[in-house]
């Protein structure tokens, strides 16, 4: 009787161990499955950086302003996910996930390229160019475009301060291009933009506020223009010294 009870107990223990082993094997397979890892990685990116997948208009801003601290954080963030993506064996992914993998890999690469340019390309910061794009958007009423441009000009000083803080070892050719773009920006604010304001239906008070912001924006542009000229002088001077 004791032997029968002991045999029954051993069978139960064996079944428990078998179930635990099966569950462990299943969990290990699940955790190491490339498809599961990829889906989890994509989900984490959506949760932590939703605008990367579905860019939305910046509320209160005509264009994005990325401060130097945020730029460094974003660069590290995307480099980290790029490294995790490379660890996944793409050949083992389902066709649907393979296509998503390629798309995600390309988007991360493009984002890192842009962040690198923000540190090396002074011409990337072009207020007049950004505002001209908004003014050219015929799908939006002129008054609405001008109000959004006015909001953008309000951020001009912060925009260019971020530019100066972001730049690290700028490219001399891009510095020359940046100077040309700032001159065109001033020309745009003095000409085409004011002509559009004159044609608008904004109130006298709104027009007065708009002109004041135009003046403030031009100060910020001229300050950045002087910064770029100083950069160019230092870059050329360093060449002669060598």
Question: Of 43, 26, 36, 42, nearest to 93 (Cα)?
Answer: 36
Which residues are CB-contacts of 118 (< 8 A; sequence separation ≥ 6)?
66, 71, 124, 166, 167
Per-residue pLDDT of the chain (242 residues; tens, 9 = 90+): 555 555 656 566 655 655 455 444 444 444 568 888 888 888 888 777 766 665 544 333 456 678 888 888 889 989 998 999 898 888 888 889 899 899 989 989 998 998 999 999 999 999 999 999 999 988 899 999 999 999 999 999 999 999 999 998 899 999 999 999 999 999 999 999 999 999 999 999 999 999 999 999 999 999 999 999 999 888 776 654 44
Q: Give me the long-range contacts of 185-192 (CB less than 8 A, separation at least 24).
A: 185/126, 185/127, 185/128, 185/129, 185/131, 185/221, 186/128, 186/218, 186/221, 186/222, 186/225, 187/128, 188/128, 188/131, 188/132, 189/128, 189/131, 189/214, 189/217, 189/218, 189/221, 190/218, 192/132, 192/135
Angle at 41 between CA 99 and CA 114, to 5 degrees: 75
pLDDT for 29:
44
pLDDT for 24:
46
pLDDT for 16:
60
Question: Of 155, 153, 146, 164, nearest to 128 (Cα)?
Answer: 153
pLDDT for 51:
64
pLDDT for 7:
61
DSSP state of 192: H
Q: Is the whole model's pTM more than 0.85, yes or no?
A: no
141 close to 201: Cβ distance less than 8 angstroms: no
pLDDT for 27:
41
């Amino acid at each position: 009787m004791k032997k029968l009870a002991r045999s029954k107990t051993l069978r139960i223990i064996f079944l428990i161990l078998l179930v635990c082993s099966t569950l462990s094997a299943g969990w290990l397979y699940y955790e190491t499955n490339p498809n599961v890892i990829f889906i989890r990685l994509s989900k984490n990116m959506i949760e932590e950086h939703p605008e990367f997948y579905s860019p939305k208009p910046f509320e209160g801003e005509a264009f994005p302003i990325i401060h130097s601290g945020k730029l460094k954080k974003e660069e590290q963030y995307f480099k980290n996910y790029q490294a995790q993506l490379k660890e996944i064996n793409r050949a083992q992914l389902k066709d649907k996930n393979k296509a998503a993998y390629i798309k995600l890999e390309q988007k991360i690469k493009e984002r890192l390229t842009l962040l690198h340019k923000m540190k090396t390309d002074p011409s990337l910061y072009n207020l007049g160019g950004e505002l001209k794009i908004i003014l050219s958007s015929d799908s939006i009423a002129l008054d609405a475009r001008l109000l959004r441009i006015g909001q953008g000009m309000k951020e001009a000083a912060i925009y260019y301060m971020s530019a100066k803080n972001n730049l690290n070892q700028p490219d001399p050719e891009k510095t020359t291009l940046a100077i040309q773009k700032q001159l065109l920006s001033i020309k745009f604010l003095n000409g085409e933009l004011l002509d559009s304001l004159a044609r608008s239906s904004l109130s006298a008070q709104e027009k007065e506020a708009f002109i004041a912001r135009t003046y403030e924006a031009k100060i910020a542009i001229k300050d950045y223009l002087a910064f770029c000229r100083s950069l160019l002088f230092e870059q050329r001077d360093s060449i002669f010294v060598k």
